[in-house]
Structure 1
Amino acid sequence: MLWACVLLPQLALDTVLRRHPAPGKPLALVHGPLQRRTLLAANGAARARGLQPGQSFATAQALLPDLTAIEYDEESVAQARRLLAAWAYRYSSQVSVAFGDAIVLEIQGSLGLFGPWPLFEARLRDDLAALGFHHRIAMAPVASAAHVLAGHRDGLAIENTAPMLSALAQVPIAQARLPAAAAGAFEHLGLRRLGQVFALPRASLGKRHGPGLLAQLDRLRGDAPEILPLHRPPDVFDARIELSFETESTEALQFPLRRLTSDLAAYLAGRDGGVQRFVLRLEHEDHGHSDVPVGLLAPERDAALLFELARGRLAQASVPAPVRGLRLLARELPPFVPAGADLFDLRAQQGMPWEQLRERLRARLGNEAVHGLSAVAEHRPEYAWRRDAGETSPMPVQEPLPRPAWLLERPVPLRDARLQLLAGPERIETGWWDGDDAQRDYYVAETSQGQRAWVFCAPGERGAWMLHGWFA
């Protein structure tokens, strides 16, 4: 087996920065009691001004009055970890979050699908950069070894056990993720590298530090089986962003909306599925909320399209009260079937597939403004079709005469002394059972101006023509 470890060195801070409208300004995470709050993490702009994790919040405010302080939220970090696990599920069916600050995935079975490791690694890094997470990646035959090596050296890739043991031997004890008591004792003895710990007598090591340390070292070297709980993505996507301000403008919600739809797309890609309906929940100060439903005619998972549709629906919604939080909830997650495409795409550069154009029009104009047509088994032309919210159904070929593409809402008299009949008649006698009896002889005719019309008159007559449609 081969395991890739995606180490997340600043997961809590990234969870905030990726959702913050101004991540480049000084910002810090704070935690602890109200009277003794300390800095848990600080971004680059804050560290450049002298702030460091562990400082008291009062000191940080004295050094940097314009510091943006955000309370550490454990649930938000757990939500980000679940999102990353769902994303990693796209590349492997064996994904684990057992290490807390890292995602590990078994990749040996995936190399044939995603290419050799350098290409696979580049793809992982591109995805993580787009999602907004700092990361370090390493590969090794043992998951815990990959975890340790990722913290020691970013980009390390080892496929065999012998070079893995050599690389582990060079890891400083401070980076070996050993229990704090054991690591302190080793450093007190003058041991600096993990290889020196491997060389200690096993019996003495177990007697002094217990069997738990021996078991950890055995798993690290691959001498004992490593059983990791595997992640299974949930069947519902539920993500929320709390705003640092109140707003009644939907324009101000576009930044968090883009992040939520991007996360939804990453989650769907991991499930190899799509979404056909989701809800944008606007949370208000009084704990109330208002919902903006977003429905699609077919499952989709493209991040840009989902954002465009959600933005269009949100722009049409009325905001009854100031918004303090935005939540995206998706329960209907059907399988995703990519639309077929030509081998050589003949569309213009600025063109788009009909499916995407249809969804954009529905989002901007409303559901009722865009619809398809479906045929109805009815001889009367005005009743032979109906509006359909789904895909457009192909109209069947009518015999013996063709049907016009433009059918008038109601027939109107046609007065043309030079009307020329081209085909017909086609007699229609029906509708006596519903009180709208129709007895007509239809003809295809050409007017004096060269237009091709669909006309009818009373059965057996030639005159008093009624125009019912135009041919293209």
Structure 2
Amino acid sequence: MLWACILFPQLALDGVVRRHASPDEPLALIAGPAQRRVLRSVNEAARAQGLRAGQALAVAQAIGARFHAIDYAAADAQRWHDFLAAWAYRYGSLVSREWPSALLVEVEASFRLFGPWPRLEARLREDLRELGFRHRIVLAPHPWAARVLANVHDGLAVIDEQPLLRALASLPLSRCGLPADVTAGLVRMGLRNLGQVWALPRAGLGRRIGEAALDHLDRLRGTQATPLRYFQPADAFESRIEFNYEVSSSQSLLFPLRRLTADLATYLAGRDGGVQRFLLRFTHERGAATELPVGLLAAERDPAMLFEVARSRLEQLQLPAPVREMELLAHQLPPFVPAGRDLFDMRPQQAMPWEQLRERLRARLGDESVHGLAVRADHRPERAWQSASSDVQAMPSLPRPGWLLHQPIPLRDTSLRILAGPERIESGWWDGDVRRDYYVVETSQGQRAWAFRPPGEQGEFMLHGWFA
């Protein structure tokens, strides 16, 4: 087995920055008690103004730096950890969140699907760049070794035991994951790296550092197996964005809406599912929250389509008050079946797919204005069809017009030419008996019509529909 460790050195900060309307402006996460607030982490723009992690908030304000101060929430960091685990699930069935701000993914089983490690690594990095999370990635045969190597390396790929032992031996003791007191004791002995520790007699080393630390060293080399707790994607998606100010314009909500729908699409791709209905909830300073349901005719997971449908619904919503928090809830996640495509697609490059066009029309015109067709078990033409909220179903192979009149009318044309027929339809004795002989006819103007007359008679035709 080969394990990829993905380390997120600024997980909480990246989670905030990617949803901030102005990510390039100075921003800092604030933590600590009210008496001593400190900067927990800062972005590059804040660092350029002289701000540093661990700096007191009063000091940062005293130097005259202008920055957005956002309270650090451990629960938010945990939610981002879960979100990224769901994303990683698409690349490997064994995903572990054993360590904070890091993911372990067994990737060797995925090489046949995604290609060799360099190609898979490039795909992981591209996804994470699009998601907005800084990262370091290391590949190793053992999960614990991959985790500690990610502390000092980025892009390292070790697949054999001997190169792995050499890479581990050069690690500084402070980056090996040992407890701080154990590390301090080994440093006082004059030891600086992991190779020097392994060179000591095992029995004497165990008496100095304890069995727990000795077990940790064995796990790094893979001589002691320790089961990992594996992640299972949840059956629902919930994500929210809290604003530092009141948002009164629906246009200002489009940026967070795009982020929420993109995160939903990422989550769905990780669990190989789709969404057919989700809810947007807007929380106000006072009063009840405003809810906006968004429904689709079929399960989808394309981020552009999800955003477009939600945006169209949002533009028609009248918000009763400014918004302080926006939330997306998706509790119904049916299986996703990709739409069929031709091998040689002849559509123009800018043509909109039918599924996206259908959902855009429903969002703009209303759910009742766009619907599909369903077949009813009735031979009478006026009762053989019904509207349906689902997609268009397979139609019968018999010749039927695309435009069926609500009521048949006399077809007065002296130059009709019969193209096909008769087709006798006799049904409905229980609620309105129908006995007709139907013909496909051509009018004197070249139109193709569907007309009938009583069985066995040669009288006037009654027009019931037009063919395209």
Q: What is the identity, as a one-letter code, of the residue corresponding to 1:469?
A: G
RMSD: 2.4
Classify 1:424/1:157 alpha carbon distance in 2 versus 1 (closer, same or farther; 3 Å).
closer
Q: d(CA) in 2 for partners of 1:287 and 1:234?
A: 31
| 1:122 paired residue number | 122
Q: d(CA) in 2 for partners of 1:69 and 1:338?
A: 43
Of stretches 20-29 and 262-271 in structure 1, the one that deviates more from structure 2 is 262-271
SS in 2 for 1:34: coil
Post-superposition shift, 1:154?
A: 0.7
| 1:285 paired residue number | 285
Q: What is the identity, as a one-letter code, of the residue corresponding to 1:404?
A: P
Post-superposition shift, 1:6?
A: 0.3
Post-superposition shift, 1:459?
A: 6.7
1:149 aligns with 2:145: no
Classify 1:413/1:98 alpha carbon distance in 2 versus 1 (closer, same or farther; 3 Å).
same
Q: What is the identity, as a one-letter code, of the residue corresponding to 2:246?
A: E
Q: What is the identity, as a one-letter code, of the residue corresponding to 1:170?
A: S
Match of residue 447, structure 2, among 446, 451, 471: 451
1:410 aligns with 2:402: no
| 1:393 paired residue number | 393
Classify 1:464/1:340 alpha carbon distance in 2 versus 1 (closer, same or farther; 3 Å).
closer
| 1:89 paired residue number | 89
| 2:367 paired residue number | 367
Q: Deviations over 1:205-233 (max 9, x none)?
A: 32233222111111112221122211111
| 1:308 paired residue number | 308
Q: d(CA) in 2 for partners of 1:413 and 1:379?
A: 22
Alignment of 1:18-167 (within 5 A): 18-167=18-167
Q: Deviations over 1:311-346 (max 9, x none)?
A: 222223332322111111112122222223222222
SS in 1 for 2:139: strand
Alpha carbons 1:26, 1:46 under 8 Å: kept: yes
Classify 1:33/1:196 alpha carbon distance in 2 versus 1 (closer, same or farther; 3 Å).
same
Post-superposition shift, 1:65?
A: 4.5
Of stretches 409-418 and 86-95 in structure 1, the one that deviates more from structure 2 is 409-418
Q: d(CA) in 2 for partners of 1:342 and 1:85?
A: 34
Classify 1:71/1:115 alpha carbon distance in 2 versus 1 (closer, same or farther; 3 Å).
same
Q: Deviations over 1:87-136 (max 9, x none)?
A: 11111121111111210111222222221111111111111111111000
| 1:241 paired residue number | 241
Post-superposition shift, 1:456?
A: 4.6
| TM score, norm. by length of structure 1 | 0.92
Post-superposition shift, 1:290?
A: 2.2
Classify 1:317/1:172 alpha carbon distance in 2 versus 1 (closer, same or farther; 3 Å).
same
| 2:15 paired residue number | 15
SS in 1 for 2:150: helix
Q: d(CA) in 2 for partners of 1:207 and 1:397?
A: 84
Classify 1:464/1:274 alpha carbon distance in 2 versus 1 (closer, same or farther; 3 Å).
same
Q: What is the identity, as a one-letter code, of the residue corresponding to 1:349?
A: Q
Q: Deviations over 1:155-199 (max 9, x none)?
A: 111111211111111112222222111222333343322222222
Post-superposition shift, 1:412?
A: 3.8
SS in 2 for 1:205: helix
Q: What is the identity, as a one-letter code, of the residue corresponding to 1:164?
A: L
Classify 1:429/1:266 alpha carbon distance in 2 versus 1 (closer, same or farther; 3 Å).
closer
Alpha carbons 1:241, 1:326 under 8 Å: kept: yes
SS in 1 for 2:23: coil
SS in 1 for 2:306: helix
Post-superposition shift, 1:463?
A: 5.9
Post-superposition shift, 1:3?
A: 1.1
Of stretches 385-394 and 8-17 in structure 1, the one that deviates more from structure 2 is 385-394
Q: What is the identity, as a one-letter code, of the residue corresponding to 1:454?
A: W
Q: What is the identity, as a one-letter code, of the residue corresponding to 1:406?
A: W
SS in 2 for 1:363: helix
Classify 1:453/1:71 alpha carbon distance in 2 versus 1 (closer, same or farther; 3 Å).
same
1:211 aligns with 2:211: yes
Of stretches 349-358 and 411-420 in structure 1, the one that deviates more from structure 2 is 411-420
Q: Deviations over 1:435-468 (max 9, x none)?
A: x565656554444433333345567766665433
Classify 1:428/1:97 alpha carbon distance in 2 versus 1 (closer, same or farther; 3 Å).
closer
Of stretches 357-366 and 271-280 in structure 1, the one that deviates more from structure 2 is 357-366
SS in 2 for 1:19: coil
Alpha carbons 1:61, 1:67 under 8 Å: kept: no
Q: d(CA) in 1 for partners of 2:415 and 2:193?
A: 103
User: How many pairs does the alignment contain?
Assistant: 468
Alpha carbons 2:49, 2:65 under 8 Å: kept: no
Of stretches 446-455 and 48-57 in structure 1, the one that deviates more from structure 2 is 446-455
Classify 1:320/1:92 alpha carbon distance in 2 versus 1 (closer, same or farther; 3 Å).
same
Identical columns (%): 59
Post-superposition shift, 1:82?
A: 0.3
Post-superposition shift, 1:30?
A: 0.2
Q: d(CA) in 2 for partners of 1:458 and 1:230?
A: 72
Q: d(CA) in 2 for partners of 1:13 and 1:66?
A: 17
Classify 1:98/1:423 alpha carbon distance in 2 versus 1 (closer, same or farther; 3 Å).
closer
